[in-house]
Amino acid sequence: MEHFTDTSDMKSRIAVLESEVKNVVDELKEIRIEQREQHDRMMKKLDGLDDRISNLEKWRWMLIGAAVVAGYVLGHISIEKLF
């Protein structure tokens, strides 16, 4: 490690490091904001997909129920009674 003999050199180096650290912190804050925005967009899309999947599942079970009822009715009614 480099030894500083002059306090002005140390002070200027500390000032440079402080500035660099501040820049990194600012960049991290911006990245965090972008991540939050991206997370919010993804959650909205996931909520929309969840609604669509729920609706499809409801329709699927209604169709299965209708097929079961139709199968039961067709299985227990004789064709002679219909005509």
- The two structure tokens encoding residue 79: 């064709």
What are 53-81's pLDDT values in tens digits? 999 999 999 999 999 999 998 888 877 77
What are 15-68's pLDDT values in tens digits? 999 999 999 999 999 999 999 999 999 999 999 999 999 999 999 999 999 999
CA dist., res. 56 & res. 64, Å (int): 12
In the chain, the N- to C-terminal Cα span, in Å, equals 103
DSSP code string of the chain: -PPP--HHHHHHHHHHHHHHHHHHHHHHHHHHHHHHHHHHHHHHHHHHHHHHHHHHHHHHHHHHHHHHHHHHHHHHS-HHHH-
> How do the domains of the chain map onto residue ranges?
7-82
